[in-house]
Amino acid sequence: MKLLGIDIGTSGTRAVVIAADGKILGSATHEHAPFLAPQLGWAEQDPLDWWQAATDAIGEAMRRAAVAGKDIACIGLAGQMHGAVLLDDKNQVLRPALIWCDQRTQAQCDWLTNTIGSKRIIELTCNPPLTNFTLTKLLWVHDREPEIWQRFRRVLLPKDYVRFCLTGEHAMDVADASGTLMLDVAHRRWSEAMIHEAGLSPSCLPNLFESQEICARVSAEGAAATGLRAGTPVVAGAGDQAAGAVGMGIVRAGTVSATIGTSGVVFAATDRPAMDAQGRLHTFCHALPNLWHVMGVTQAAGLSLRWFRNLVGPSIPGTSISYEDLTREAAAVPAGAGGILWAPYLMGERTPHLDPKARGALVGFTASHNRGHIVRAILEGVAFSLKDTFSLFDDVRVPVNSIRIGGGGARSLLWRQIQADVYEREVEILEAEEGAAYGAALLAGVGAKLWGSVEEACEAALNVASRVQPDPQAAEVMRQQYQLYRELYAVLKPLFARMS
DSSP 8-state secondary structure symbol assigned to residue 84? B
At residue 363, what are phi and psi to the nearest 5 degrees? -125, 135
Structure confidence at residue 428 (pLDDT):
96
Stated pTM of the model: 0.88
**Segments of the chain scoring below 70 in pLDDT:** 315-319
Q: Kindly tell me the burial class for residue 190, based on how many C-beta atoms sit within 10 Å of its own C-beta (0-12, 13-18, 19 or more).
A: buried
Asked if the peptide bond before residue 352 counts as cis, ω within 30 degrees of 0, the response is yes
CATH 2.60.40.420 fits 302-429+470-499, yes or no: no
End-to-end CA distance of the chain: 54
Strand, coil or helix: 161: helix
C-beta separation of 185 from 131 below 8 A? no
Residues with Cβ within 8 Å of residue 263, at least 6 apart in sequence? 100, 101, 297, 298, 299, 300, 301, 302, 303
Residue 471 annotated among the catalytic residues of the structure: no
Structure confidence at residue 435 (pLDDT):
86
C-beta separation of 127 from 184 below 8 A? no
Q: Kindly tell me the burial class for residue 475, based on how many C-beta atoms sit within 10 Å of its own C-beta (0-12, 13-18, 19 or more).
A: middle
Structure confidence at residue 80 (pLDDT):
96
Rounded CA separation 349/326 (Å): 25
* E runs forming strands in 381-457: 402-407, 427-430
For 171-195, write each residue's pLDDT tens digit.
999 999 999 999 999 999 999 999 9
Rounded CA separation 27/434 (Å): 10
Q: Do domains 2-248 and 302-429+470-499 have the same CATH topology?
A: yes
At residue 155, what are phi and psi to the nearest 5 degrees? -115, 140
C-beta separation of 393 from 294 below 8 A? yes
Structure confidence at residue 319 (pLDDT):
63
Helix (H) or strand (E) holding 53: helix 47-65
The CATH homologous superfamily to which domain 2-248 belongs is ATPase, nucleotide binding domain (3.30.420.40)
Q: Kindly tell me the burial class for residue 39, based on how many C-beta atoms sit within 10 Å of its own C-beta (0-12, 13-18, 19 or more).
A: exposed
Structure confidence at residue 431 (pLDDT):
86
For 270-298, write each residue's pLDDT tens digit.
999 988 888 889 999 999 999 999 999 99
Sorted by where each begins, the domain ranges of the chain are 2-248, 302-429+470-499
Residues with Cβ within 8 Å of residue 202, at least 6 apart in sequence? 190, 192, 195
C-beta separation of 319 from 278 below 8 A? no
Structure confidence at residue 317 (pLDDT):
64
The residue from 160, 240, 276, 355 that is catalytic is 240
**Type of residue at 165:** C
